[in-house]
Amino acid sequence: MRYAETGYNLEIDLTRGNIERVATDPKETELYLGGLGTNAKIIWDRVPPEVDPFSPDNLLIFASGLLCGTPATGCNRTIVSTISPQTRLMAFSMMGGFWAPELKYAGYDKVILRGKSPDLVYLWIKDGKVEIRDAAHLKGKGAVETATLICQELKEPKAQVAAIGLAGENRVYYASIEQGRSSASRGGIGAVMGDKGVKAIAVRGTRDLNIARPAEFMALCTEVLDYIKFRNDNPIPGVMPILAGLGSPQEMKVHDEKWHTENFMWGNSRVRRKDFWNEEVATAWMETLDSMRTRLISCYNCPMTCGATISPPGKPTYMMKCFSKLTYTMAAFSDLEFGLGIAQSATEYGVDGFSTPQVMAFALELYENGILTDDDFPGMPADNEGRFYWLLDRIVRREGIGDVLANGTYWAAKEIGKGAEEYAHNTIKKHEQLPLKLSMLNPIYFLMYATGEKMNITQIEGQFPQAPFPTREQREEFVKDWIQVPDEKFKQYFLDWELRGEKSIPYYPTPEMCCDIVDWQERMHYIDDALGMCAGLSSFPLKPPYHIHNYPKFIAAGAGIDMDEDKLTRAAKRYRTLVRANNIRRGMRRKDDKPPENHWKKRFPDLEKELLDTYYRFKGWNDQGIPTKESLDELGLDYVSADFEKRGIYSNDGDTPSKETSAEKEKGV
C-alpha cells in the first residue's frame, strides 16, 4: 500500500491523444521524495539537453508534493516543471490554491504532458477518468474566465482548473499558469503549456488518500496549528510587520508600504524614492485597498488568509497575494489604484507579476532614450498608465514591438540592439529579478543570488534574518526560542553579527558561515518543494512551524517512509544536485552564477571569488560549479557523472557559451 501519495502518474501524449495511468516506483519516492524531487529525476531521464523548450519532446509536469492532500496544514503546492523558454534551463514554479490536493483525490500524483496537440484542448480529470476535450471556444479567453467557463460546462462547480490566458497561448516567455487562488508564474511555464496546445487542466477528486500512521500524523498537525496560533499572537519583535508573522508576506493585510516603496526600485528597477511615503499617500492607498479588497482568503487547508479577492471598479474580481500588489504601481510610477486595476488584466492574460512590469518599464526607458522610437509604438497613449495598458495588450498578443518584448528584457535587448543591452540590467540567468538595488554587498545574498536555480530570491531565502539586529540584547532574545536551527552554531553566527565594525557585512559572516547559512535556507525550500508545503509556513518566514526537526516525523507518519534528519538532508541534497545537473548539462557554468552587475553599489571582487570558490567546494562542485564525480557518486547519482563524462562536461573549461538562440527564433516563428 502507498501512503500520502497515490503511486500513479498520469501520462498524456498530446500529439497522439494517448492517455496512460503509470504506476511509479516507491524507491524513487524514498530517494527523491516527490514534487520537485521526482520532477527533477523525470526531466533528467527524459529531457536531454538537445530538447528545446518548444520541442514536442519537452515535458510539462504538474506535480503534487508528497504530503499534499494529507491534513498537514498549508501543504497544497503544485510544482510545475519544464524547460523554460526564457532561461533555457529547468524551470520549477509553484502554485498554491487547491489544485494539487484535488489531483491526489482524483487518483494521481503527477500529470506529465508530452507532445503537442494539433488543436487547442483542455484536460478533464475526474476520479481516475481522463478526457481530452476541445477548447476551441476558449481560445483567447482569460485564465480566470476560462476556469469559470469550464466549471459551468462540466457542471462541476468544485472542479479545480489550472489555465493559461492569451499570453500562454501566444508563448510569451513569462506567461503564467493561473489557478483560482494562486498562480505558477516564473520561467514561462505558461508558454510551454500554450505551445503544447493545452488551455487548461480541470480536476475533481473525491477519493481517499492513505496515511501510514494517522493518529501520530494528526498529533503532529495539531502541534503545527498550536504553534501557528502562538506565533500569530506573538509576532517576532524588531522585524518588519510583513515578516514578523507567518504566511506568505502579509501584503494584502498591511497598509504601511513605506518599506517597499522607499527601498525597492521604481521604473525599470532604476529609481529609489527615499521620501515617497507620506501621510497623504498612506491615506489614499489605505482607502484604495480597503475599497477594492473584498475578502481575505487562504489556500487549501491553511488558516493564514494571505491572499485577497480584489474587485477594481468596473472589472471582474480576481485574487492577489504578495508583492505583485506593488509591482505594476512602482514600475509605472503610479498609485495603488492603477496597480490593482492592471493586475486584473494581467491575471486574465496570465503573465508573471514580477517580469511583466519590468519589461514594460524597460520598453519605455528605451523609448525615452531614443533606442526605440515613435515608429515602434504607433498609437501609444501619452500618459504612463495608458502606456502600460497599451504595452500589456501588445505583449500578450505579440503584436509589433510587443512581439519582441514578449521574450523578456534579456532576449528583447539582444534583438533590439543599439545599446539596449545596457538597459536589460536586472536579470540573472536571463530572468528578471526583484527590483532591488542596494548599497553594500551582503555575502549571504551574494551566494543566494549567484547560485540559486529557483527564479526568485524569496524562494531561497528565509530562516536566517536578512540583517543583524542592532543590539546584543535583541539578538540574545531572538535566539532564545530558535528551535528551528539545524545546529546550535547558527545561533552563534547570529549573536556575533554586528551592524558595524569587524563583524559586519561584507566580511562577516565569513565565507564558511555563509555556506552553512545559504545551504540551510536553500535546503528548507527544496524540502518544501518536494513535499508540496507552502514556503509561507516553512522555509520563508523566520521561526516557522515546519522545520528540519519535525519534517522527518511528518514524512514517516504520513508517507510511511523511514526518515530522519540526515536522510532528509541527503535526499534534498540529491535532488537539488539533480536540478543543477540538468542545468549544467544545458550549458550553465560559473559565468552564469552571478547577480546583476549593479545589484550592489559596493562590490568586492576578491571576496566574491572567495565566496563562490568556498561554496562550490562546500557543495562538492568543481571550480566551474559542476558537481564532481565523487560528490555525485556519493549521492547515488553515478548515472549523472557517467553522463557528464560521456558528454565531455568535465573537460569544459567554462568558455563554451550556453546556447544563445531564443526559443522563438529557433522555431522560426
Residues contributing to the site for ligand SF4 (CB under 6 A): 74, 76, 96, 247-248, 298-299, 302, 304, 306-307, 534, 536-537
3-state secondary structure of 91: strand
Rounded CA gap, 402 and 363, in Å?
9
Nearest approach, Cβ of 231 to ligand SF4 (angstroms)? 12
Nearest 10 degrees: CA dihedral of 505, 510, 516, 521? 10
- Write out the three cell numbers for 486: 539545524
Which lies closer to ligand SF4 via its Cβ, residue 54 or residue 300?
300
C-alpha distances in Å from residue 104, one per residue of 3, 60, 205, 479, 499 = 11, 18, 7, 39, 48
Nearest to 48 by CA among 2, 90, 11: 90
Which lies closer to ligand SF4 via its Cβ, residue 230 or residue 650?
230
Strands (E), 65-185: 78-83, 90-95, 110-114, 121-126, 129-134, 160-163, 177-179, 182-184
| Helix, strand, coil percent content, the chain, rounded in steps of 5 | 45, 15, 45
Nearest approach, Cβ of 297 to ligand SF4 (angstroms)? 8
Contact 359, 409 (CB under 8 A): yes
Rounded CA gap, 458 and 444, in Å?
13
Nearest approach, Cβ of 229 to ligand SF4 (angstroms)? 14
Nearest approach, Cβ of 249 to ligand SF4 (angstroms)? 9
31 membership: H or E segment, kind and range: helix 26-32
Nearest approach, Cβ of 510 to ligand SF4 (angstroms)? 34
Nearest approach, Cβ of 104 to ligand SF4 (angstroms)? 16
Which lies closer to ligand SF4 via its Cβ, residue 534 or residue 561?
534
Phi, psi of 412 (to 5 degrees): -60, -45
Beta pairing, strands 78-83 & 60-64 = antiparallel
- Write out the three cell numbers for 97: 490554491
Nearest approach, Cβ of 183 to ligand SF4 (angstroms)? 11
Which lies closer to ligand SF4 via its Cβ, residue 82 or residue 248?
248
Contact 126, 205 (CB under 8 A): yes
Which lies closer to ligand SF4 via its Cβ, residue 89 or residue 246?
246
Beta pairing, strands 121-126 & 129-134 = antiparallel
Nearest approach, Cβ of 232 to ligand SF4 (angstroms)? 12
- Write out the three cell numbers for 430: 536571463
Which lies closer to ligand SF4 via its Cβ, residue 506 or residue 536?
536
Contact 184, 192 (CB under 8 A): no
Which lies closer to ligand SF4 via its Cβ, residue 113 or residue 534?
534
Which lies closer to ligand SF4 via its Cβ, residue 435 or residue 544?
544
Which lies closer to ligand SF4 via its Cβ, residue 248 or residue 577?
248
382 class by beta-carbon count within 10 Å (0-12 exposed, 13-18 middle, 19+ buried): exposed
Rounded CA gap, 293 and 205, in Å?
31
Nearest approach, Cβ of 184 to ligand SF4 (angstroms)? 13
Nearest approach, Cβ of 123 to ligand SF4 (angstroms)? 24
Which lies closer to ligand SF4 via its Cβ, residue 37 or residue 307?
307
Which lies closer to ligand SF4 via its Cβ, residue 384 or residue 458?
458
Nearest approach, Cβ of 317 to ligand SF4 (angstroms)? 18
Which lies closer to ligand SF4 via its Cβ, residue 181 or residue 430?
181
Which residues, 6+ apart, have CB-to-CB distance to 385 below 8 Å?
A: 332, 334, 338, 342
Rounded CA gap, 632 and 621, in Å?
9
Nearest approach, Cβ of 443 to ligand SF4 (angstroms)? 29
Which lies closer to ligand SF4 via its Cβ, residue 248 or residue 484?
248
Which lies closer to ligand SF4 via its Cβ, residue 267 or residue 536?
536
Q: Which amino acid is at 536?
A: G
Which lies closer to ligand SF4 via its Cβ, residue 353 or residue 443?
353
Sequence-separated contacts (24+) of 11-14 with Cβ below 8 Å:
11/112, 11/114, 12/111, 12/112, 12/113, 12/114, 12/123, 12/130, 12/132, 13/114, 13/115, 14/113, 14/114, 14/115, 14/116, 14/117, 14/121, 14/132, 14/196, 14/197, 14/198
Rounded CA gap, 632 and 609, in Å?
24
Nearest approach, Cβ of 536 to ligand SF4 (angstroms)? 3
Nearest approach, Cβ of 644 to ligand SF4 (angstroms)? 37
Phi, psi of 227 (to 5 degrees): -65, -40
Greatest Cα pair distance in the chain: 68
Produce one character per residue of 304-332: b if its CB has 16 or more CB atoms within 10 Å, e if not: bbbbbbbbbeebeebbbbbbbbbbbbbbb
Nearest approach, Cβ of 84 to ligand SF4 (angstroms)? 23
